[in-house]
């Protein structure tokens, strides 16, 4: 029988064998690029209280909404191509909320154009991380998150690195972190073990050995805080 809640994480290495916890769904585990629900649960336990406003600018299949509601947080989920009715259609580069109005922001963004998230032409996930434009657009999202977040409050950004045979390794996480440092102070950096990715198969492990490359085994979770301008 599944536990009604995930473990409360106390180290910087988070691992959980399934996308969901408990008996109720949190998001759709069939959704491509679905966020593990335990990540959001742990973040909300540490950085929010009941009644706080939580925002997810790239809400995907709605995992943040489901976890936040279960924990009695107010929540707004946006996505450029809404997956379900309670997700508001919106571009994360222009969030329709007032300055300094949000208690916590979580975002699980594309890290290149490796997944077909939607047919929307403005989807950042259609831009390859091999192009500097990709990081310019993530910068716009980071700036908006900073604008809507209250002073002293936290945000968390989940992202992975990228490898392709043609272009090799691209440190997407490091490049995003440099962007975030322009707007936020670091609380901590968490390593999230990747599970259930399509490359975690015997044939891909054999290819990694034969052609001397590494399969992606983790994602970064950057946890940052908005400081006052004079801090």
Q: Does the residue 125 lie in any domain?
A: yes
CA R_g for the chain: 17
CATH number of the CATH domain containing 36? 3.40.50.150
Q: Does the residue 171 lie in any domain?
A: yes
d(CA 7, CA 36): 13
Higher per-residue confidence, 163 vs 54: 54
pLDDT value of residue 4: 73
Q: Determine contact, residues 5/21, Cβ cutoff 8 Å.
A: yes
pLDDT tier at 197 (50, 70, 90 boundaries)? low
**Rounded mean pLDDT, 58-86:** 97
Q: Does the residue 133 lie in any domain?
A: yes
**Rounded mean pLDDT, 17-26:** 88
* pLDDT tops 90 at residue 165: no
Q: Does the residue 164 lie in any domain?
A: yes
d(CA 134, CA 106): 19
Neighbours of 159 (CB within 10 A): 22
Q: Does the residue 5 lie in any domain?
A: no
- 156 CB-contact burial (10 Å; exposed 0-12 / middle 13-18 / buried 19+): buried
The parent domain of residue 18 ranges over 13-225
pLDDT tier at 192 (50, 70, 90 boundaries)? very high
Q: Does the residue 4 lie in any domain?
A: no
Q: Please, what is the average pLDDT of the chain?
A: 91
- Ranking 18-22, 172-176, 196-200 by mean pLDDT, the lowest is 196-200
* pLDDT tops 80 at residue 201: no
pLDDT value of residue 75: 98
* pLDDT tops 80 at residue 183: yes
- CA 120 and chain centroid, separation: 19
The winner for highest mean pLDDT among 4-8, 139-143, 191-195, 196-200 is: 139-143
pLDDT value of residue 199: 60
* pLDDT tops 70 at residue 227: yes
Q: Does the residue 1 lie in any domain?
A: no
pLDDT value of residue 1: 41
Q: How many domains does the chain have?
A: 1
d(CA 53, CA 47): 11
């Amino acid at each position: 029988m599944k536990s009604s809640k995930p473990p409360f994480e106390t180290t910087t290495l988070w691992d959980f064998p399934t996308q969901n916890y408990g008996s109720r769904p949190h998001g759709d585990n069939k959704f491509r690029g679905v966020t593990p629900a335990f990540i959001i649960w742990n973040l909300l336990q540490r950085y929010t209280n009941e009644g706080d406003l939580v925002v997810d600018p790239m809400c995907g299949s709605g995992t943040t909404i489901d976890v936040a509601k279960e924990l009695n947080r107010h929540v707004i989920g946006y996505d450029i191509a809404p997956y379900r009715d309670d997700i508001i259609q919106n571009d994360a580069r222009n969030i329709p909320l007032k300055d300094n109005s949000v208690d916590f922001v979580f975002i699980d963004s594309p890290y290149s154009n490796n997944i077909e998230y939607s047919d929307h032409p403005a989807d950042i996930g259609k831009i390859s991380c091999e192009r500097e434009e990709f990081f310019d657009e993530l910068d716009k999202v980071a700036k908006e998150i900073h604008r809507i977040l209250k002073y002293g409050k936290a945000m968390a950004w989940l992202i992975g690195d990228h490898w392709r045979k043609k272009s090799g390794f691209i440190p997407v996480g490091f490049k995003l972190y440099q962007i975030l440092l322009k707007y936020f102070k670091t609380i901590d950096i968490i390593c999230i073990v990747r599970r259930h990715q399509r490359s975690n198969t015997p044939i891909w492990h054999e290819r990694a050995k034969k052609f001397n490359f590494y399969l992606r085994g983790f994602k970064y979770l950057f946890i940052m805080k908005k400081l006052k301008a004079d801090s």
